């Protein structure tokens, strides 16, 4: 039997503070009703100054390691998917490596926006299929609240902070990761961007004045592209595994908008109960959304052995991808 990457443990961590739609009504010209009906979001968690990306990531990792029964010093590799690192250098993965005391682990970050966790999972899968004894920690962690213009109602209602983690290893078993597919289209990058604070447009009063430190999104265009890309990558995964829509027991998609999730479910012919939804509690947490959802489903006992799970994500770049698993 060939080697498959299996999940030994999952974990998640959310900041302490909750920001409800009602709270947002006091800051910008919006309403709880608009946000709920257009996005499905009821509330989101917002990190304080001490709750850095690496802090959230480390806390989620501790929970995943606990469940896995794996010691930090036994980890071989740490991969963190994020677009909101504490700083450009060192990486969040190195900060986590140090905080955990994962002395023998290699560590690096992956930046693929909301698809980042699936990109990171795919990389981990390749390492593990090369050496099944490897123990790999894959984290998705974001503090997007720092990249939001709180006066822009078209974006500030959408995003939240948080982190999710998984501990992986290899096994000669008929379960685990079955397929991975990754895609991108950089020609559409301008539709969803943070223009400033990189080396092309470093911090200057002019850049800050233009608001280029914040997320800018052509929401309607992104919506259409997201539905199309998610549907196509889902069919690609089904075909690769010889599955039909009926073979999918649980769809865990990146949580960007409940209307995207519903449309995707319709197009794949999946009933509502097969689509995992938690966007109402967390908003869009970018690379953290899928590992948070996985942990929630796992701890609720939804992820029973043999379950066919399809993970799909779409985000800025554009990037999109899928991972199909048998639990």
Point out the residues that are catalytic: 114, 254, 284
**Contact status: 30 vs ligand ACO (CB under 6 A):** yes
List the 319-326 sheet strands across, edge first.
176-184, 319-326, 308-315, 250-253
**Contact status: 223 vs ligand ACO (CB under 6 A):** yes
Q: How far is the CB of 119 from ligand ACO (least distance, A)?
A: 12
Selected from 157, 252, 279, 324, the binder of ligand ACO by CB under 6 A is 157
Q: What is the C-alpha separation between 154 and 219, in angstroms, rounded? A: 8
**Contact status: 113 vs ligand ACO (CB under 6 A):** yes
**Contact status: 81 vs ligand ACO (CB under 6 A):** no
- Applying CB under 6 A, the site for ligand ACO has a residue count of 24
Nearer to ligand ACO, 117 or 327 (CB): 117
Selected from 46, 94, 226, 324, the binder of ligand ACO by CB under 6 A is 226
Q: Where in 268-297 is the site for ligand ACO (CB under 6 A)?
A: 284, 286
Cis upstream peptide for 318 (omega within 30°):
yes
Q: What is the C-alpha separation between 162 and 51, in angstroms, rounded? A: 10
**Contact status: 149 vs ligand ACO (CB under 6 A):** no
CB atoms within 10 A of CB 28: 14
Q: What is the C-alpha separation between 315 and 116, in angstroms, rounded? A: 8
**Contact status: 253 vs ligand ACO (CB under 6 A):** no
216 and 158 Cβ atoms separated by less than 8 Å: no
**Contact status: 316 vs ligand ACO (CB under 6 A):** yes
Q: What is the C-alpha separation between 38 and 55, in angstroms, rounded? A: 32
Tokens of 228: 């199309």
Q: How far is the CB of 158 from ligand ACO (least distance, A)?
A: 6
x/- letters, 173..192, toward ligand ACO (CB under 6 A): -------------------x
Nearer to ligand ACO, 256 or 311 (CB): 256
Handedness of CA 110, 124, 95, 67 (dihedral sign): positive
**Contact status: 265 vs ligand ACO (CB under 6 A):** no
Q: What is the C-alpha separation between 135 and 61, in angstroms, rounded? A: 13
Largest CA distance in the chain: 60
Selected from 136, 256, 293, 323, the binder of ligand ACO by CB under 6 A is 256
Which one, of 75, 68, 120, 127, lies nearest residue 101 by Cα? 75
CB atoms within 10 A of CB 69: 10
Q: Which stretch binds ligand ACO (CB under 6 A): 74-82, 126-134, 240-248, 312-320?
A: 312-320
Residues near ligand ACO, by CB under 6 A = 30, 34-35, 38-39, 113-114, 153-154, 157, 192, 219-220, 222-223, 226, 256-257, 260, 284, 286, 314-316
């Amino acid at each position: 039997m060939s080697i498959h990457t299996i999940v030994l443990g999952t974990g998640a961590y959310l900041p302490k503070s909750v920001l409800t739609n009602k709270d947002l009504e006091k800051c910008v010209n919006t309403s709880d009703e608009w946000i709920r009906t257009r996005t499905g979001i009821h509330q989101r968690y917002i990190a304080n100054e001490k709750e850095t990306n690496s802090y959230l990531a480390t806390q989620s990792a501790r929970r995943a390691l606990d469940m896995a029964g794996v010691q930090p010093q036994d980890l071989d590799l740490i991969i963190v998917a994020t677009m909101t690192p504490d700083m450009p250098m060192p990486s969040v993965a190195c900060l986590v490596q140090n905080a955990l005391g994962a002395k023998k682990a290699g560590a690096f970050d992956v930046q693929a926006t909301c698809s980042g966790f699936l990109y990171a999972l795919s990389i981990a899968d390749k390492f593990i299929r090369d050496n099944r004894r490897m123990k790999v920690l894959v984290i998705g962690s974001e503090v997007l609240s720092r990249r939001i213009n709180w006066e822009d109602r078209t974006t500030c209602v959408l995003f939240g902070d948080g982190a999710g983690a998984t501990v992986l290893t290899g096994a000669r078993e008929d379960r685990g990761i079955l397929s991975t597919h990754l895609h991108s289209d950089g020609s559409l990058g301008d539709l969803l961007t943070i223009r400033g604070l990189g080396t092309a447009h470093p911090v200057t009063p002019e850049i800050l004045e233009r608001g280029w430190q914040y997320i800018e999104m052509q929401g309607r265009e992104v919506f259409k592209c997201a539905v199309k890309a998610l549907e196509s990558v889902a069919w690609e995964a089904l075909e690769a595994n010889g599955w039909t829509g009926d073979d999918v027991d649980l769809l865990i998609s990146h949580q960007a908008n409940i209307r995207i999730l519903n449309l995707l479910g319709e197009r794949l012919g999946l009933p509502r109960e097969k689509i995992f939804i938690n966007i109402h509690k967390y908003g869009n947490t970018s690379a953290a959304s899928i590992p948070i959802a996985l942990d929630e489903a796992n701890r609720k006992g939804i992820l029973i052995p043999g379950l066919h799970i399809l993970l799909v994500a779409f985000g800025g770049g554009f990037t999109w991808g899928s991972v199909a698993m048998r639990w």
